Structures are given as C-alpha cells and as structure tokens.
Chains A and B, each alone.
Chain A
C-alpha cells in the first residue's frame, strides 16, 4: 500500500526542463528526506505533487489520481508547507494555525470542538502555544516557521509535504520538528521533507531521495544514499562520516578537489 505514488513525472519551468522522468512510491510510516543541491528540482517536485506546477506523468495520492482530485479532496489528503513564509496580514497565531482546518469545515460552519482540539494539539506539538495571541507578523523567523508547521499539522492529513521546514530553526526546534514528523510517520502517515541539512536528514529520516539536475540519483536508506561518492559527485564536497548510538552522523567538511567537480560537469 502506498500513500503517494509518482511515475514518470517530468516538468519544465519557463520552457527549461527541470524534472526528468521521476518515479517513486512512499508508503505509510515513511519519513522521506528530499535532498540535492540548489536547483536540483526539490521545490519543483513538491509543487508538482501538489498540482501547483504543470507536469506530465502520473501522481496517485492515497489511492486517487492527483489529476482527478478536487481542490478540497486533495486538501484532505495532503498538506503542504511552502518554502515562502510570507504572511500578508497581522493575524494572531491561533487564527493562522486555524487556517489548517479550512478543508474540514463545511460551508459557513464555524470551528467545531474537534477543529479547536486539532489546532491546540498542533500548537502544542510545535511549541507555539505561548504565542497564541501574538501577531504572526511580529514573530521571529524561527517562531513563524514553527507556527506555519503547526498550521500544516492542524490539517491532519495522511500525507505531508514540507519544503525546507527546518531552515532557520534553532537546533532544539530543528530536532523537535523532525521528532514530530517522525511520530506522524509512526502513526502511519507519510512525510516528505526537503532539506539542505544533510546531517539532520541522515539522522532523522527513514529514507532519503537524492535529486541532481532533475533526476533521482539515489533512493534508499540514509546509509545507502549519503555516501562519500554521492556527496562528491553531486554536491562536490568531502564529508566526515561517523556513528553515534547506532545513528549515522555526517558533516560536510570542505570542497572536494576541483578536478572531480569539473569532471562531473
């Protein structure tokens, strides 16, 4: 059984091909890290999965063809955290998190007890309860990132796609965020999260997908994907590899010799 199935997905932006023939499945319980250098196509892939960027190929979300889903039905199956954290109006945090309940609310219905409970639970998970009444536009970057994550959690979907949700968070909240995603996965949901933090991805994700120039270069366990060879050929960096309490530790140290990078190009 899969919650997300992608086959032969290709997409172009402004006439330039960005994604080439991408296929993968994500099942319940998986926390998938989407990694790759700048411009590899991570954000475009997530946007294409959400139907925000036109793409060819097939996307099946929780058993239903992505192309046939109405906007509301899609919103009940998959939540999306955009990379942009732009909030237009000075809205209180609680109201902003409550936007995650929109797909669940019948027309003209106010928030019900279950909706309020979901909003409270999401705020508690992301440690933003104390900011409940503050204006979202007056928060720090990291606080806002957590509020937006709470907004996506409040949507209570089986599938969550997050575009660099950990960027700008302090270490404790980065780890906290990944732990929340991990517990969502353990409940039987799926989370796909893009990130540039290889160490965080290797430590926390159950599986990594490495993208390079619009293609899937590697797909598997963190140990199988984050290898010295892959880091050198895709990112052009040398890294330290280690292990703490059975979990992989990876730390990029420096640029690999110029020749190997040129060789790739």
Chain B
C-alpha cells in the first residue's frame, strides 16, 4: 500500500472513530437514558430532566472533549515539527503551567466562587502574559533554543507560584479545590465554557493549520527551509501564538491534561509517511479520539469516585510512552 493511500485510510478511520466516540460520550453517564430518548432530548424544546442532562451536561462535556483533544493533538504535532523533536509537547512553551496558575489564583482569591467565569478568564489572561514573555525572550531572530529555555523558565515560575498559593492557602477546602482543578477534568462544564474557549481555539487552530508546508520543509533544517522560501520568523510566531491561544483556552476550561499532545503525534507519525503537514489533521483527530475515549472511560471505570481525566491520561499515557521509547531504542540498536 503506498503512502498517500495509507494516509487517506488513516484520516478516514480517525474521522470515523472521533464521530463514534463523540456520540458515545453523549450516551454514557450515570443517568441511564436510552439511545432514542437521548437523541430526541438533545434537539427537544422541552425543559424536562432528560433534555436538561443532554443539553446542559453531556453536550458541553462531549464538545469540550472534542475541542480540547483536537487542540492538544494539533499543537503537539506543530511543536514537534517546528522544534524537529519528537519529545516536544504543548506544555513546553509555558502556556499550560501559566494558565493553571491563573486558574489557581482565581480559586485562591475566592473570585471564582463569586463569579464562575473568572476562573477560565484568569487562566486565559495568565497564558497571554506567559506567551508574551516567552516570545519577547526568544526575540525577533527567534532561536529555537531560547524559546525552549524561556518556556522552561516560565513553566517553573508558574509552577512555583501555584505551589505558593497551595502553601499559603488558609482553607483546606480551597487547597483541595485547587488540587482537584489541576488534575484536569471535563466534569460539570457548561456551554459557557464551550463558548468561552471556542473563539480562542478557532483562532489558534487557524494559525497552526497554515504551517503544514513550512513544517515539511523544516524536516531538512531551518537553513534549507529558509532557502525554500519559508519565513522562519512567521513560522515561529504562528506556532507560538497558535499553541498559546488554543492550549491556553483548553487548559483554562479543563485544567492540565497531560501526555495527549506528546504521545498522539508520536503514535500517528508512521501513518503519515513522516510528513509533518499530514500529521496536523491526523493528530488533531487522534487527540480528539483519545480525550473523548478517556473521558468515557473515566465515567465507566469509577462512576462513583469522580476519577479525573488528567489522572487517567497520565496513568495510561506514561507507560505507553515508555513502550514507544523502548520500541525506538530497539530500532536504533
């Protein structure tokens, strides 16, 4: 089977998987609602319990799973391509940690209790500050190394400030709330969260999806890419701001969900013939599938215990990543 054919098959299979998982996500939950009832309730004008559950609880949850997963997969693929490194992930540029800090501060100050949308808004504001710092540090010439180092520094600082907030938290319930929020979850999100995150994600996706050809050229290194007509400063700007907007919004509404942005592009790369431009749509769909599946699993495995999505992705993702590394090691040896 040739490369282009395998890629088209992969794309079709992932689209199908995403659609199925999205529908499953709408159907699975503690309230056992039949298939026909669920679907009709989704589009119903009535305001009964079933319609409320479908429209106010399950629909935003499934939509956010789709959006957040696509964001993580897409931005992971772009950053791995831009940095030419299979270990790159969205958290690298400091946006996730900063968004977390913003959210934590909103909980810590009690602002989110008074005005719930303050939490995602504070997270978004913090990620904007982070990306401005990182971009300013990397400078106009845009060295990749400076970008990574600045990202590490910003992440560490945001992590330390988050710890400080926990440390100084006078009230154990606030500390617990902060901890739980940081674990990452799609539970109890509303359509407000969807509408809040969507514009940032759309803007981010639009920026990231324009980078396909530039990332292909970058396979041969920055100099060759530049000689092929790629404007490297523009690429850096779009990669950083696209990731910041979409991942910042994702973290703002769900907390940190690890390993998806790292593992999904890595796993799907062989299906794309190593071409970064093909990895962008595949990885977005793959990320959406993984997050939707994990979010369904969370509801099935421990319906009573509110198992956090971020915990599950890390528990499954880390050993899986270890296996990938093991496989790569054998290939190199």
Contacts and interface: CB of A to CB of B under 8 A. Distances in A.
Nearest to A89: B274
Interface in A33-59: 47, 50-52
Interface string B84-104: 110000000000000000000
A80 B221 CA distance: 12
B219 A87 contact: yes
A50 B226 contact: yes
A148 B275 CA distance: 16
A92 B274 contact: yes
Interface string A79-104: 11010101111111001100110110
Contacts of A91: 219, 273-275
A74 interface: yes
A206 interface: no
A151 interface: yes
Given A91-B275, A92-B273, A102 B221 contact: no
A75 interface: yes
A34 B298 CA distance: 64
Interface string A211-246: 000000000000000000000000000000000000
Contact of A75 (B3, B227, B274): B227
Interface residues of A, number: 35
Contacts of A73: 229
B192 to A, nearest CB: 35
Contacts of B274: 89-92, 95, 135
Nearest to A105: B213
A92 B3 contact: yes
A95 B273 contact: yes
B273 to A, nearest CB: 6
B229 A88 contact: no
B276 interface: yes
Nearest to A52: B223
A135 B273 CA distance: 9
B231 A71 contact: yes
Contacts of A89: 219, 269, 274-276
Contact of A87 (B220, B228, B230, B231): B220
B229 A74 contact: yes
Contacts of A102: 213, 216-217, 228-230
B218 interface: yes
A72 interface: yes
B285 to A, nearest CB: 19
Interface string A96-118: 10011011010000000000000
Contact of B228 (A47, A84, A100): A100
A190 interface: no
B224 interface: yes
A84 B269 CA distance: 24
Contacts of B85: 88
Contacts of A84: 221, 223
B216 A82 contact: no
A210 B170 CA distance: 74
A99 B228 CA distance: 8
B220 A148 contact: yes
A34 to B, nearest CB: 17
Contacts of B275: 89, 91, 95
Contacts of B269: 89-90
24 contacts: A50-B223, A50-B227, A51-B226, A52-B227, A71-B226, A71-B229, A71-B230, A71-B231, A73-B229, A75-B228, A80-B227, A82-B223, A82-B227, A84-B223, A87-B220, A88-B219, A89-B274, A89-B275, A91-B273, A95-B274, A96-B219, A102-B230, A133-B3, A135-B274
Given A74-B227, A80-B224, A90-B269, 10 more contacts: A50-B226, A50-B227, A52-B223, A76-B229, A82-B220, A82-B221, A88-B84, A90-B270, A95-B273, A103-B228
Interface of A: 47, 50-52, 70-76, 78-80, 82, 84, 86-92, 95-96, 99-100, 102-103, 105, 133, 135, 148, 151, 155
Interface of B: 2-3, 84-85, 213, 216-221, 223-224, 226-231, 269-270, 273-276
Which 6 residue pairs across A and B have the least CB separation, nearest first? Answer: A75-B229, A80-B227, A89-B274, A72-B229, A91-B274, A88-B84
